[in-house]
Structure 1
Amino acid sequence: MNADCSGSEREANWRTKARRGAFRAVLVSAVMAAVFSAVTACGDEKDQQPTDAAVVQTRSGPVRGTVTADERAFSGIPYAAPPVGELRWKPPAAPAVWSAERDATKPGAECLQPEDAGRLTGSEDCLFLNVWTPSGAADRKRPVLVWIHGGAFTTGSGSLYNPARLVRTGDMVVVTINYRLGALGFLGHPAVAHEDGQVGNFGLLDQQAALRWVRDNIAAFGGDPAKVTIAGESAGAMSVCDHLVSPASDRLFHGAILQSGPCEMQTDRQTAVAKSEEYSATIGCPDADAAAVARCLRAVPAEQVAATPLHFTGEAGVGLPSPSYGQPLLPDDPMVAFRDGKAAKVPVLIGVNRDEYTYFVAGQTITAQQYPDLLKMFGPQADAVTAQYPLDRYAQPELAWSAVMTDHVFACPIADNTKSLTRTGPVYAYEFADPDAAPLPGLPSPPPFPLGAAHGFELPYLFDLDRTPSPATSAQQALSDKMIRYWSAFVHTGDPNANGLPHWPRHTGDQSLVLHPDTATTTNIHETHHCALWTQIPTP
């Protein structure tokens, strides 16, 4: 039944119908219900929001999440079509549309990846994201943090990171995403090149598709699409480096957070193609005409592809499937682009952990006799490295080697990026330095030596992670609270400073804020990590 929004007309119609007798009472009730609906439709857009806070209408269809007193959570929302069959090794396609409410109370599958003891977990059908909002978040638009997980581009998922504390304390919307990993995410074989001739980087394309989904849908969850910060740790931070210089990511975000990102570990297109062609042969798809290789690659069982993930670039014997530059999606090496002032003009929060490399050495044994042999990888500079990191300065050879690689692979390249990014926007730098941070799962317990502030150890100070203890002491809990408030202020304003927090100076020289349970100070990363030496030695 149609009705206009004229109150006098509605009232006249109702009185006329009412006089027709009691036997028309049911019809009168129906008319009144229709009139009430029409009045509602003529109200403000705010009044049209569904009364059920657990249901949100996305552009693809309605989703039903979980509501608590503090937050709403919507999990396993597809942001792209399943990249399977003919869509394997193709840019992400639009997701299907649905009309019935979709269950969004549990995460979608993580992307196919190796697990312990050579087992595999996950699925090719994995392009899902999760949205967390404060309770009642649709009443006004809040800033948005999009989290890109780490894991060397071979492991991880968005659902591993519970952002409840960031959501509650920071009064923000948080989105965590999956993206294709390993060979499925980064194979650069020309036989499965994109339509415009680009190769590989399917995982980065997935991330951009997720950012477009946020742009188009996040307002329905109470998020502000004009105030989106992208953030990541390790490979996630490397991804943020790429988005800072990718033309296709332009205007999809308005701030960036990079935690422990070795962004020098990207590769060029030529290397990606060569390594991908070698890899193709190892899984039974040797050189032939492009169409035949493409058919072969798409027919290989997913388990066989994921069991031997492609490694593009390596250092010190450790490789990972890096994104590749030198093509339209990623025209330049991000490190070079930063130095040339080609990064997106957005505020940046960037940092390093004081003892990054202990995470990678914790399962190894290095003897005093082996240490000089390891340093030979630096060629003519080996003596200079030995002089700067003498074995007798450290309690164990493993700690000496960790100090070398922390500075060489993490601290000094990140210091370089920090300085370069000041050319295009405000930068706030930190060093996470809790010497007693709890180890992440998968490391020896107890550890063979003090791990300090190792790679990834800052994550529990921001997120609730499965099987990972939260900060234990009152000082650590206070540091966690400060970090969440700093990160939240940055997402809101592009500046981490807020009332009641120690001042975080903008990075204009070499000073970085030290995040330590017992002190509030700054440090010169370039000096404390011997970067004058490492600027003379290229990263392997």
Structure 2
Amino acid sequence: MAELGRRAVLGAGLALASLPAAARLAPAPRVGTAAGDFEGDAEGGVQRFLGIQYGRAPRFRAPEPIAMPGVLRPAHNFGPSCPQRGSYRPQAEECLYLNVWTPGADRARRPVMLYIHGGAYSNGSVTDPLNDGARLAAAEDVVVVTVNHRLNALGYLYLARLDPRFPDSGNLGQLDLILALRWVRDNIAAFGGDPSRVMVFGQSGGGAKIATLMGMPAAQGLFHAAATMSGQQVTASGPLNATRRAQAYLAGLGVREDELTALFAVPVEKLVEALDTTDPILGGGVYFGPVLDMKWLVRHPFWPDANPQSNAVPMILGNTRDETRAFIDPASEKVRGLNWDNLAARMAPELRMDLLPEWVVAEYRAHFPADTPEQIFYRATTAGRSWPGQVIEADARAAAGTTSTWVYQVDFQSPTRPERGAPHTMDIALAFGTLDAAGSFTGTGPDAQRLSRQMMAAFASLARTGSPVVKGLAWPTYTLPDRATMVFDVQSAARNDPRRWERELFARVPYIQPGS
């Protein structure tokens, strides 16, 4: 143990040597916890501790907690992200790392805001500069935590029906997040956080992971408020579909179903390459997500109603006005050359609702006669793909009537990329205050700054008090039939059911969660 401590101190010295001179002049903050002692950095009035390993990730098995009491562990650099396609580097199977930003490790019991990244269940990382927690921590006097965890096949390949040695395999990514929340419960007080006031928030896939956590008994009591940003999980993957996907993926790897021991020898690069296997249900690359395995997840998160466990948690649900402008490029072949003759055909593959696209186009043209084909394309694909899950979840919580729900819609139009409107991911920079970060659509003008202050204050208020209502922002709860929604814009204001016509149009048919 003494040698391990000596190496940790040496590693801390090497990491400090790589910091800018100005940062090295400030005394490095140190925090002692049951999980170990951590040395971070002080910068801009905020202390940050990066790359804290909260667990080990044995392949296709449940995570294991990691603790080194009394051992100094340097926390100056992000840990690796989960292996995936994409540009996040470094990557490693041992990817269970979290990061902490705090105004002071002074046991002040500040509210804690824990962020879960997007990228569906297969990609993404909180090392993205949009997710930097320094400005949010400083502006709202909160402790910000961001978490990486296992993704894609490493986090959600369901092997339990093929081999009893892997009983947890379909929900490993969720179990990683539960382990991180337990780490926060047990250690965050030393960083100035209040373990009794932990709010989880996440965008896109991060929001879906939160919706799933809200229905997992093992997560009960680990967080006390939640906010999902363009991310919903009405139903999880069924075990039969998840097994079919596992079989297809194994075939793509060349691993026999009755010889799963071979999985331990497959290089991780091959596991990532096999993600291109065609999904036997949806087509495209194979889908991975949480599984109704009847062990960790025993009912769907929001079907047939809101899980009673989740109804005890005050919650914000949000979306952006032009979700699909983020992932269907206005300059793409699908959008260029759109006209009234080809609009229905091009729109159909982008909808998640089985509704006659020619009829949808005709209805939109009648309701929005001044719209171009491109405008209707984005309206309809957003309303029939990205919004239905949120409406279902918000309505289910309102119908239960046991706790408070608040809903928002970001209408603020990108001043830097006007062709993108108010796209998917717009609210990340607003909620973190990272308006100038790479990937932000907000710009840094006074309107964006004012809106960001509103969103940061509202989110932090939910963490602090269980309500996002703050001075200057009258945000009513979401109830039926009013469906009050905060429209975040240059001038933010609450409106009742702002998308009523589109909501009712697509409510004619059932919504089936992709992947279910």
What range is the shorter-chain TM-score in? 0.7 to 0.9
Amino acid at match of 1:171: D
Match of 2:491 in 1: 518
8 Å Cα contact 2:62-2:169 kept in structure 1: no
8 Å Cα contact 2:159-2:167 kept in structure 1: no
Q: What is the CA–CA distance in structure 2 between the aligned matches of 1:231 and 1:253, rounded to whole Å? A: 10
Match of 2:453 in 1: 481
CA 1:192–1:66: 2 relative to 1, 3 Å = farther
Q: Deviations over 1:259-299 (max 9, x none)?
A: 101324631111111110110111120232xxx31x21111
CA 1:461–1:380: 2 relative to 1, 3 Å = closer
**RMSD (CA atoms):** 2.8
Q: What is the CA–CA distance in structure 2 between the aligned matches of 1:255 and 1:182, rounded to whole Å? A: 27
Q: What is the CA–CA distance in structure 2 between the aligned matches of 1:54 and 1:192, rounded to whole Å? A: 49
Match of 1:425 in 2: 403
Identify the match of residue 32 of structure 2 among 57, 80, 98.
57
User: Secondary structure of 1:72's partner?
Assistant: strand
Match of 1:354 in 2: 321
Identify the match of residue 343 of structure 1 among 310, 313, 318.
310
Q: What is the CA–CA distance in structure 2 between the aligned matches of 1:376 and 1:477, rounded to whole Å? A: 37
Identify the match of residue 47 of structure 2 among 72, 80, 85.
72
Identify the match of residue 271 of structure 1 among 233, 241, 257.
241
8 Å Cα contact 2:388-2:511 kept in structure 1: no
CA 1:409–1:252: 2 relative to 1, 3 Å = same
Q: What is the CA–CA distance in structure 2 between the aligned matches of 1:498 and 1:515, rounded to whole Å? A: 14
Match of 2:216 in 1: 246
Query: Does structure 1 residue 180 correspond to structure 2 residue 150?
Result: yes
**Greater alpha carbon shift after TM alignment, 317-326 vs 302-311:** 317-326
Amino acid at match of 1:382: P
Give the drift of 1:489.
0.9
Give the drift of 1:409.
2.0
Query: Does structure 1 residue 300 correspond to structure 2 residue 276?
Result: no
8 Å Cα contact 2:361-2:376 kept in structure 1: no
Q: What is the CA–CA distance in structure 2 between the aligned matches of 1:319 and 1:405, rounded to whole Å? A: 22
User: Secondary structure of 1:506's partner?
Assistant: coil
Match of 1:13 in 2: none
Give the drift of 1:316.
9.2
Match of 2:132 in 1: 162
Amino acid at match of 1:343: S
8 Å Cα contact 2:116-2:126 kept in structure 1: yes
Query: Does structure 1 residue 323 correspond to structure 2 residue 323?
Result: no
Q: What is the CA–CA distance in structure 1 between the aligned matches of 2:504 and 2:485, rounded to whole Å? A: 14
Query: Does structure 1 residue 128 correspond to structure 2 residue 97?
Result: yes
8 Å Cα contact 2:188-2:194 kept in structure 1: yes
CA 1:165–1:312: 2 relative to 1, 3 Å = farther
User: Secondary structure of 1:253's partner?
Assistant: coil
**Greater alpha carbon shift after TM alignment, 392-401 vs 508-517:** 392-401
Match of 1:152 in 2: 120
Query: Does structure 1 residue 508 correspond to structure 2 residue 474?
Result: no
8 Å Cα contact 1:75-1:105 kept in structure 2: yes
**Greater alpha carbon shift after TM alignment, 68-77 vs 209-218:** 68-77
Identify the match of residue 142 of structure 1 among 95, 101, 110.
110
Q: What is the CA–CA distance in structure 1 between the aligned matches of 2:144 and 2:89, rounded to whole Å? A: 28
Q: What is the CA–CA distance in structure 2 between the aligned matches of 1:256 and 1:184, rounded to whole Å? A: 26
Q: What is the CA–CA distance in structure 2 between the aligned matches of 1:481 and 1:193, rounded to whole Å? A: 51
Q: Deviations over 1:420-446 (max 9, x none)?
A: 12324101111011122555xxxxxxx
Amino acid at match of 1:235: G
Match of 2:74 in 1: 103
Q: What is the CA–CA distance in structure 2 between the aligned matches of 1:251 and 1:194, rounded to whole Å? A: 29
Query: Does structure 1 residue 90 correspond to structure 2 residue 61?
Result: yes
8 Å Cα contact 2:99-2:145 kept in structure 1: yes
Where in structure 1 are there 5+ consecutive unaligned residues?
Answer: 1-51, 440-448
Percent identity between the two aligned chains:
28
Identify the match of residue 410 of structure 1 among 374, 386, 396.
386
CA 1:388–1:364: 2 relative to 1, 3 Å = same
8 Å Cα contact 1:193-1:200 kept in structure 2: no
Q: What is the CA–CA distance in structure 1 between the aligned matches of 2:406 and 2:68, rounded to whole Å? A: 41
Please say which structure displays the higher CA radius of gyration.
Answer: 1
User: Secondary structure of 1:110's partner?
Assistant: coil
Match of 2:301 in 1: 334
Give the drift of 1:506.
1.1
Q: What is the CA–CA distance in structure 2 between the aligned matches of 1:481 and 1:186, rounded to whole Å? A: 36
Q: Deviations over 1:103-140 (max 9, x none)?
A: 10111111111126xx9851112110001111x34241
CA 1:201–1:399: 2 relative to 1, 3 Å = farther
Match of 2:443 in 1: 471
Give the drift of 1:178.
0.3
Q: What is the CA–CA distance in structure 2 between the aligned matches of 1:194 and 1:505, rounded to whole Å? A: 49
Q: What is the CA–CA distance in structure 1 between the aligned matches of 2:373 and 2:91, rounded to whole Å? A: 38
Q: Deviations over 1:157-211 (max 9, x none)?
A: 1222112221112111111000111111111123786768344111111001101
Q: What is the CA–CA distance in structure 1 between the aligned matches of 2:302 and 2:311, rounded to whole Å? A: 13
Query: Does structure 1 residue 454 correspond to structure 2 residue 423?
Result: yes
Amino acid at match of 1:246: M
Amino acid at match of 1:129: L
Question: What TM-score does the superposition give when structure 1 sets the normalisation length?
Answer: 0.80
User: Secondary structure of 2:423's partner?
Assistant: coil
